[in-house]
Amino acid sequence: MGNSRINLYPAETATSINRGGSLDLWATNASGNEIDLRDEFHKFLYGSGSETAKGQRGILRRMNVDDDGELVVCPCVSDTTLEPDLDNPCPYCHSERYIWTEEWIVYYCTTIGRGDKKANAVDVFPAGIYADEIKYFYLEHGVEPSKVDKIIEVDRDVDGNIEVPIVRVAKYSIGTIEPMRSDNGRVEFYRIAAVKDQRLAKWDQ
């Protein structure tokens, strides 16, 4: 192959270095035409003039915290067992043990399985847990979910419209939250690995 070499830097940069100049190791040739991943993901979820929306609406159940950042335990929790009553679900916390607030979110999700080699994140779930469905949920950067929050799917018709009155059909406990970073390390979107919670209280339905 001879003595040919690949020049990693433009000639003027190499000349500057040879003359004692400094090299910015983090320099970039990105132009103003580079795509904005946040904007592209938003269009992917909500659609645009040339793209059909791929996202679907669901509910994020955020666990409330006090001024010290501690989860707010519901008064229904037993002082003895420190657990909520699952046989007679509390109408306030719905047997979550903690007080929460719900909000609408738009997400994209894919179903994975415990045996799926791509699903390394599911190893964070307790051994022996009954998981008929484990999913990746993709959320916009502004959502900022917490590992104690829950993602809830709602019933919808064949065209994807949410049924009214709203019926909660599945609840997912978060195992891992992976911030997907790009430009200068900023979070572009989140990928969440979550497992279906079999304890969907009757109050949730």
Statement: residue 130 has pLDDT above 60: no
| Beta carbons within 8 Å of 42's beta carbon, 6+ residues apart | 140
Statement: residue 25 has pLDDT above 50: no
Between residues 63 and 11, which one has the greater pLDDT? Answer: 63
pTM of the model as a whole: 0.74
pLDDT value, residue 60: 97
Average model confidence (pLDDT) across the chain: 79
Mean pLDDT (whole number) for 36-43? 93
Statement: residue 117 has pLDDT above 60: no
Count the Cβ atoms, other than its own, within 10 Å of residue 122. 22
Between residues 11 and 127, which one has the greater pLDDT? Answer: 127
Statement: residue 57 has pLDDT above 90: yes
Statement: residue 134 has pLDDT above 60: yes
Give the lowest-confidence range in 22-26, 51-55, 152-156, 172-176.
22-26
pLDDT value, residue 23: 46
pLDDT value, residue 4: 43
CA dist., res. 96 & res. 168, Å (int): 15
Between residues 38 and 125, which one has the greater pLDDT? Answer: 38
Between residues 68 and 204, which one has the greater pLDDT? Answer: 68
CA dist., res. 85 & res. 153, Å (int): 23
CA dist., res. 171 & res. 200, Å (int): 7
pLDDT (tens digit per residue) in 99-115: 999 999 999 999 876 55
- For the chain, the distance separating the N- and C-terminal CA atoms, rounded to the nearest angstrom, is 70
Mean pLDDT (whole number) for 82-97? 83
Mean pLDDT (whole number) for 124-151? 81
Report the percentage of the chain scoring pLDDT > 90.
Answer: 45
Determine the Cα angle at 195 with ends 191 and 199, to 5°. Answer: 140
